[in-house]
Structure 1
Amino acid sequence: MLTVENLDAGYGEAQILFGVDLAVGAGEVVTLLGRNGMGKTTTVRAIMGLIRPRAGRVSFGGVDLTGSAPFRLAQAGIGLVPEGRQIFPTLSVEENLIATAASRFGPARWTLGRVYAFLPRLKERKANRGNQLSGGEQQMLAIGRALMTNPKLVILDEATEGLAPIIRQEIWSCLAALKAEGESILVIDKNVDALARIADRHVVLEKGRVAWRGSSDDLRSDSAVKDRFLHL
């Protein structure tokens, strides 16, 4: 589904990514791990066309989308839950959801009613503005907004950053339910133990390069990976 090959990217004269390779297949949950400043968000930005790669290839569904405008990635079927949530603060919850609604690949799997059923707290707060929500509710709204695009792949950048433990658990339960629905997911987060229970495969970045990759079983059994690359 998503294939990233030999990706180089950076900002100005600073190169951040060096030959990054990763892939997410249909129905897979794949994580992108690493300490702060290792290139995880830069990878997402390069995939989504928010910065132009210096080299390499980003393809989705067999179509080369390297350096395409962000709206082209959305049209291709990638839904982004960005770092910092970036919901519309003065729109209501329902307006935020409706604003991104699309159905490009046949009948919509994710409708307003289905998102409300999947994330019932959003239904409770549907008339509230985005800036009236808690951090956890904003993250749920960002997930719901991405689902309303009826994507083939969802990318979550810093899925639970800054959230209370009880809210983190709700987000993990949400991702587990999405996996059970057959959604393809690429997720960035620091909660490795929770990710290992959900994800199929993991890719670890160190200074903009892929330093390790493997399954959840591999990650759980290799404490050296956590000690060396994740400081956990």
Structure 2
Amino acid sequence: MAASHPLLAVRGLQAGYGRAQVLFDIGFEVHPGQVVTLLGRNGMGRSTTIKCLFGMLPVLGGHVEVRGRPVNGHASHRIAREGLSLVPEGRQIFTDLSVEENLVATARRPRTDDGRAPWTLERVYALWPRLKERRHNLGWQLSGGEQQMLAIGRALMTNPTLLVLDEATEGLAPVIRDEIWRTLATLKQEGLAQIVIDKNVKRLLPLADRHYVLEKGRVVWQGDSAALHAQPAIVQQYLGV
């Protein structure tokens, strides 16, 4: 899975809100085709890290690099053009647009020909047939599960090389959560790199290649799924409620 250059490299990342520093020297890498998790309780810096990756929060120190090129200080749309796409916490779809309008609003062609089939309306509808059935419905007319399908489909329509999912299964019915986990596994099989923030360690273990545990804005543990499975005390100490 290793590559000469990581797709994403975060080095010594520091950030905060006002005078309150939240992130302290966060570092991790994502290689092409790899699934990486950011684990931790709420308020430990996971979503703040994601905001820094996408230019939504200024970086106070350290570096964020995509394919070896710094993107610190770049606007969110420029970072998106580098192949990063976000499924944000809370979905944040356009509620006054139809399903189909949501999907095409930010759609882009693949930035490079990496051998993977490009994402089109037809592919998204094949992935989530329910969206095709409701393609003329407005966003506010969808259930929470349908809105989450739409948020993932919208992100895929940008044809990303790195998909970032922030609490994509939060608050959903079990049948919808299962469907999302199956989808993420399928995307991994197709070679799409992912960063996943989620609390369900049991479902993340078979999916992810590497895990980074955050506590109070610092990486306190990192390792692969076998190592995390072998250390249940880590899960209890840093992820238990």
TM-score in terms of structure 2 length? 0.94
1-structure distance, mates of 2:129, 2:189:
18
Matched, 1:49 2:55: yes
2-structure distance, mates of 1:217, 1:98:
40
Deviating runs (4+, > 4 A) in structure 1?
none
2-structure distance, mates of 1:82, 1:215:
25
Deviation of the 1:136 alpha carbon: 1.1
Matched, 1:82 2:88: yes
Give RMSD over aligned pairs.
1.1
Deviation of the 1:124 alpha carbon: 1.4
Say if 1:52 and 1:214 are closer, same or farther in 2 by CA, change over 3 A.
Answer: same
2-structure distance, mates of 1:101, 1:69:
18
Deviation of the 1:153 alpha carbon: 0.5
Partner of 2:127: 118
Partner of 1:21: 27
* Contact 1:87–1:130, Cα closer than 8 Å, also in 2: yes
Q: Secondary structure of 1:21's partner? A: strand
Partner of 2:170: 161
Q: 2:68 aligns with which of 56, 62, 70?
A: 62
Deviation of the 1:104 alpha carbon: 4.5
Q: 1:134 aligns with which of 143, 152, 163?
A: 143
1-structure distance, mates of 2:27, 2:191:
23
Q: 2:236 aligns with which of 204, 227, 231?
A: 227
Deviation of the 1:106 alpha carbon: 4.6
Residue ranges of structure 1 left out of the alignment (5+ in a row): none
Equivalent residue pairs, number: 232
Q: Secondary structure of 2:195's partner? A: strand
What amino acid is aligned across from residue 31 of structure 2 in structure 1?
A: G
TM-score in terms of structure 1 length? 0.97
Partner of 1:34: 40
Matched, 1:143 2:152: yes
Deviation of the 1:2 alpha carbon: 0.5
2-structure distance, mates of 1:67, 1:158:
25
What amino acid is aligned across from residue 27 of structure 2 in structure 1?
A: D
Deviation of the 1:67 alpha carbon: 2.1
Q: Secondary structure of 1:117's partner? A: helix
* Contact 1:40–1:205, Cα closer than 8 Å, also in 2: yes
1-structure distance, mates of 2:130, 2:35:
24
2-structure distance, mates of 1:54, 1:20:
12
What amino acid is aligned across from residue 234 of structure 2 in structure 1?
A: V
What amino acid is aligned across from residue 169 of structure 1 in structure 2?
A: D
* Contact 1:75–1:104, Cα closer than 8 Å, also in 2: no
Partner of 1:71: 77
Q: Secondary structure of 1:42's partner? A: helix
Partner of 2:195: 186
Q: 1:109 aligns with which of 118, 141, 163?
A: 118
Quick check: 219-228 or 26-35, which moved more? Answer: 219-228
What amino acid is aligned across from residue 167 of structure 2 in structure 1?
A: E
Deviation of the 1:86 alpha carbon: 0.4
Residue ranges of structure 2 left out of the alignment (5+ in a row): 1-6
Q: Secondary structure of 1:66's partner? A: coil
Deviation of the 1:66 alpha carbon: 1.1
